[in-house]
Chains A and B, each alone.
Chain A
Amino acid sequence: MSRRPEHQAPPELFYNEEEARKYTQNSRIIDIQAQMTERCIELLLLPEDTPCLLLDIGCGSGLSGTVLEENGHMWIGMDISQAMLDVAIEREIEGDVVLSDMGEGVPFRPGSFDGAVSVSALQWLFNADKKSHHPVKRLYTFFSTLYAALSRSARAVFQFYPENESQLNLLTSQAMKAGFYGGVVVDFPNSAKAKKFFLVLMTGGAAPLPKALGTEEEDNSLEIKYARREASKKLRGKPLKNTKAWLLEKKERRRKQGKETKPDTKYTGRKRSGRF
């Protein structure tokens, strides 16, 4: 059976009291949520040192809200799970929460928010949990009402878990139809675990999409291309195991995956003296 929560039950049932408790007691979940929210705030490109009013879509128990508070912002959250919101109120969050289904639209006045963040919520919109649910229509309703609720030049950043390529295409096409422009930023694309998808949507003014973490700048100069070709000719596959070259390559690979790696020094891969 699939391990994706959205395949198991509708969100308002899946996030019951037991699941909600996990989100306040499991330090790993809390850590990950906080990291992803930090990254969302980074991608929002808010004006520096200005307290903003943000919308948290799928705020759940307010873990992401706490990070927003720490960064000096006020927030209003919406979520479909009563149990999660109850926990949020118990945690005495500074923001405010509303019980609402994002597929029914964002119930706020035009131009209310300076930005919107969402951590691990968007993938739920692909579900048709009720007979009346039509995912494409719900996505469009959501994006068009969100577009209205944001102030001009505001951004919306969604961290989410897409299941396949077609979901990504559907998301971006519906967002564009609603008036947004932007796209998907993939952090650490070379790692299975650290890989994270962020949908960055912008409302006004042309700006380049932010750079993903863990992707190196592509050099297009001829010299480097040749050097690479030469190197690959020489090697034909992986370097011999337990050699310095093998070690360096392994460390490089780990760095690309965003894992913690010690820096390369003159001691890296050096032979021990015979005395040892």
Chain B
Amino acid sequence: DFKERTFRVSNGVNEDHPNSTGMKAMQVCLDEKTGGKMKMQGFWGGSLGGDLQATQAVRSGLQEAVLTSSSPLVGMVPALGVFDLPFLFRTPQEAYTIMDGPFGDTLNEKLDAVGLVNLGYWENGFRNMSNSQRPIKTWEDFEGMKVRVMQNNIFLDTFDNFGANATPMSFGEVFSALETKAIDAQENPYVTIDTSKFYEVQSYLSETKHAYTPFLFLFSKAIFNSYTPEEQQALRDCTTVGRDVEREAIQELNKESLEKMEKAGLKYNTIAPADQDAMLEKSQVVYEKHKDEIGADIVDDVQAELKKQRAAQ
């Protein structure tokens, strides 16, 4: 049986993001399973605080849920740094198989240990580069470029290692810093580059696919445990429904965003497979440097699984 429950889900992204599409599908599923008793209330654009603040609030049981990118959480669950490793995944399918399988469960256990129930891995997608200087085709093209990165050491090291000047900067300052050319480049999924209007102040778009970061649908463990098993199961099942819709929506929107930005006059290029391999090769020092802090077993695990997957194809 189900109680009347309304829970708040905090989002850093705006309501036009596919996360919203996914949450709508999830709500439809919840309505069916709970007879309309369980309601989600989405908060957008970080109106309940940034991803990190919202996640801390969820851990403390101050609020029920957050749909956050994995990168800001590395400070509390170092293993999540695995998603920040450069050029780890090649296709979304590779990432899905890893995240929805036993490897994803291993990470979920670590999240559980800090008071977070991960209901599912939604898609943020491959991160690509935009800049105001030149097309990026090989790693040498990064030389001397001022790149905004998230406040995250793996990203910092990845770009510094390519000879760029990586500058950590909060998301809210990126537009004006790009506009004023205080920085040259930024990296994000296409949808974000589009919806945050970064493309209006950039000239080149290069499909580097240097990292695949997921969104995590995190529920407060304290609150989750107070729900009945039926309610918990409904939440788990419907998050999966929402996840599949969101993944499809974001793939579609990524394509649309790319088209739109090309139409707006950005010069777009992809990276030749050989150059992509060279970038990965060059990045091995970053893997070595961060392996211990992420957890050697985690990094080895994911690489072994990927190898198995790729061999099977």
A and B interact: no
B: residues with CB less than 8 A from A are: none
